[in-house]
Chain A
Amino acid sequence: MNPLYHVGRYSQLMYRCFSKPQRVGVFFSQTLKEIDRLGVSSLFITLIVSLFMGAVLTIQTQNNIENPLLPDYTVGLVTRDTLLLEFCSMVLCLFLAGNIGSNIASQIGTMRISEQIDAMDIMGVNSANYIILPKIVAVVLYIPVLVVFSMFAGMLGGYLIAAFTDIITTSKFIYGLQYWFIEWYVYYSLIKAAVFAFIIASVSAYWGYFVRGGTLEVGKASTRAVVTCSVLILLADVVLTQILLL
């Protein structure tokens, strides 16, 4: 369908969503509930994914630089920078788009088809604001925290490879991890994560909010949400890298 149509409808939805909550107290408790709901399940998947990412990165890097001119600690350094620059924000968010995004889309879609959203509208509650804003705030606050965990877990994954295989010694790996550390990379990663989080929450909510029809449509909406989020995340990644790193 016409992309401009979706852009327009999305903007309108966001406009309604970002108004002042009718009851600030209710908004805060909703946001806390959302964070609680995201909580443990996404932390678990983040840790697992990051551990393996770090491990694989270490092995791959070691495999690819069999050059005697490069110092041994290069493996640690490259692993760290790759994790910080791309993996812990972009790759992780692609994962979370599948996890959190489809969850948000199907949850809101179900509310739509079971007329819960209509019920709110009739009561005079701004449904976009009540349902979507807490989700966006929760996800934008929570995903950067996950990214920090992911950074540590990724490096731990690399360390475990160093410890349990003879590819590289742990001391060299740790030296590499610490060598020429650029602090900005961490902030860069966190900024990206926050933007990606906004994309995940708002775009998934958009697809869920405008579901028409039955349960079949909810399934479609959640697929669409994941696909759109993934594409937009990659697009935003290019743009943000241009702006923030160059």
Chain B
Amino acid sequence: MIEVRDVCKSFVANELVLKHISTTFHSGKINQIIGRSGSGKTVLLKCIVGLHTLDSGDILYDGRSFTSMSKKEKMQLCSEIGMLFQGSALFDSLTITENVLFPMQMFSEKSEKEQQDRARFCLERVGLYNVFDMYPAELSGGMQKRAAIARAISLNPKYLFCDEPNSGLDPLTASKIDELIVELTKEFQMTTIINTHDLNSVLSVGEHIVFIHKGEKAWEGPKEKLFVSNCPELDDFIFASEMYQKFRTTLVSEQSGQI
């Protein structure tokens, strides 16, 4: 469980990018942060994992406060975090296998054989075969994303963060990646937070949704309530495309028909 408590963040003085955000992300669930481009999703995620320092507020990892942690506790926490970046961020001078091995080589006490086996296992778990000795540049975008997931789960993280895991992918590959993240989350009871502005992904795998608008938390709730949120900004966001507008009209007419 990750608790975000009254987090503020600014890059330029007096211009808050995140304004007093508080929310809770539960474990074993797919938590999604949605919002328009530039609303502050990536900044929020980077604040949670500690890549940005907070102006004020606190993050609690299962009750452990991030801001008051010692260096050693932070290191411990780092080994429990897996993160998937918006652009995969695979190390381009290492092969795919070496990429997955990297966190283990730095932190794990396992023997080399065990590490190799674990790397194989992770890669096969995300559906990558026959690419073990290739370099990231030789893989397609979707394969890179999957390799990045394999690297993120290689140390059995308790917390998984994904920044737009399915941006720039075709619908089929995107939904496969979503499914993969769901499976892994349920399998290892991770606390998963996904940044996305892809409604398909929200509707298919999302459970707990946090909607960020201009740096503020405008709405929060389960997926089922998404269409009946009474939050004008969220409606603007969801019904921006014609398809969902039609969807809404049918939804409304269905409901009125029921009455």
Q: Which residues of A contact B (CB under 8 A)?
A: 22-23, 26, 110-111, 114-116, 118-119, 121-125, 130
Contact = CB atoms under 8 A, between A and B. Distances in A.
A26 B90 contact: no
Given A115-B85, A118-B51, A119-B85, A124 B79 contact: yes
Nearest to A25: B105
Contact of B106 (A23, A111, A116, A118): A23
The CB with the most chain B CB atoms within 10 A, among A116, A119, A125, is that of A119
B157 to A, nearest CB: 10
Contact of B91 (A22, A26, A116, A121): A116
Nearest to B49: A122
A22 B49 contact: no
26 contacts: A26-B105, A26-B106, A115-B85, A115-B86, A115-B87, A115-B89, A116-B89, A118-B46, A118-B51, A118-B85, A118-B89, A119-B83, A119-B85, A119-B91, A122-B49, A122-B50, A122-B51, A122-B81, A123-B78, A123-B107, A124-B74, A124-B75, A124-B78, A124-B107, A125-B106, A130-B106
Contacts of B79: 123-124
Contacts of A111: 91-92
Interface in B77-109: 78-79, 81, 83, 85-87, 89-92, 102-103, 105-107
A26 to B, nearest CB: 6
A23 B85 contact: no
Given A22-B106, A26-B105, A125-B106, A119 B89 contact: yes
Interface in B54-90: 74-75, 78-79, 81, 83, 85-87, 89-90
A116 to B, nearest CB: 5
A123 B161 CA distance: 12
B185 to A, nearest CB: 18
Ranked 6 nearest A-B pairs via Cβ: A124-B78, A115-B89, A119-B89, A115-B85, A124-B75, A122-B83
Nearest to A119: B89
A110 B137 CA distance: 13
A23 B105 contact: yes
Contacts of A110: 92
Contacts of B81: 122-123
Contacts of B46: 118
B95 to A, nearest CB: 13
B78 to A, nearest CB: 3
Interface in B137-158: none
Nearest to B155: A123
Contacts of A130: 106
Given A23-B105, A115-B89, 13 more contacts: A23-B106, A26-B105, A111-B91, A114-B92, A116-B92, A118-B46, A119-B83, A119-B85, A119-B91, A121-B51, A122-B51, A123-B107, A124-B106
A114 B144 CA distance: 13
Given A123-B106, A124-B79, A116 B90 contact: yes
B89 A114 contact: yes
A125 B78 CA distance: 9
A116 B148 CA distance: 11
Contacts of A122: 49-51, 78, 81, 83
A144 B114 CA distance: 41
B32 to A, nearest CB: 20
A25 B57 CA distance: 40
B44 to A, nearest CB: 15
A119 B46 CA distance: 11
A134 B46 CA distance: 28
Contacts of A26: 105-106
A26 B51 CA distance: 24
A129 B211 CA distance: 38
Contacts of A114: 87, 89, 92
B120 to A, nearest CB: 20
Contacts of B75: 124
B80 to A, nearest CB: 10
Interface in B98-126: 102-103, 105-107
Contacts of B49: 122
Nearest to B151: A119
Contact of A123 (B87, B90, B92, B103): B103
